[in-house]
Structure 1
Amino acid sequence: MRAVHKRYLREFFPAMAGYVVLIFASVYWLRTLDGTVARTAVTLLPAIPIAFVLRAMIRVIRDQDELERRIDLEAIAIAGGLGGFGFFSYGLLLNAKVLEAPTAASVAIWVFPILMGLFGVAKCGIRLYYRSHE
Structure 2
Amino acid sequence: MKSLAYVVQVLVLMVVVYPALLLLVLWIAPPGASMPTRYAVSVLPALPVVGVALVLLRWLRQADELERRIQLDALAFSGIVTMLGGGAYVMLTGLPAYVLVTAFFLLWAVAVAVRRMWLGRGGE
TM range (shorter): 0.7 to 0.9
- Aligned partners of 1:83, 1:117: CA distance in 2, in Å? 10
Q: Which amino acid aligns with 2:74?
A: A
Q: Assess, with a 3 A threshold, how the Cα gap between structure 1 residues 87 and 32 changes in structure 2: closer, same or farther.
A: closer
Percent identical pairs in the alignment equals: 28
TM-score w.r.t. structure 2 length? 0.77
Which residue is 2:9 aligned to?
A: 11
- Deviations for 1:79-122, whole angstroms, at most 9, x for unmatched residues? 0121122135427x93xxxxxx427xx2x343333222221221
Stretches of structure 1 lacking an aligned partner (at least 5 in a row): 95-100
Which residue is 2:94 aligned to?
A: 102
Q: Assess, with a 3 A threshold, how the Cα gap between structure 1 residues 116 and 25 changes in structure 2: closer, same or farther.
A: same
> Mapping of 1:1-134 within 5 angstroms?
1=1, 3=2, 5-16=3-14, 17-27=16-26, 29-31=28-30, 33-87=32-86, 89-90=88-89, 94=92, 101-102=93-94, 106=96, 108-131=97-120
Q: Which amino acid aligns with 1:13?
A: L
Stretches of structure 2 lacking an aligned partner (at least 5 in a row): none
Q: Assess, with a 3 A threshold, how the Cα gap between structure 1 residues 121 and 28 changes in structure 2: closer, same or farther.
A: farther
Structure with larger RCO (C-alpha < 8 A, sep 6+) = 1
- Aligned partners of 1:88, 1:112: CA distance in 2, in Å? 10
In angstroms, what is the RMSD of aligned CA positions?
2.7
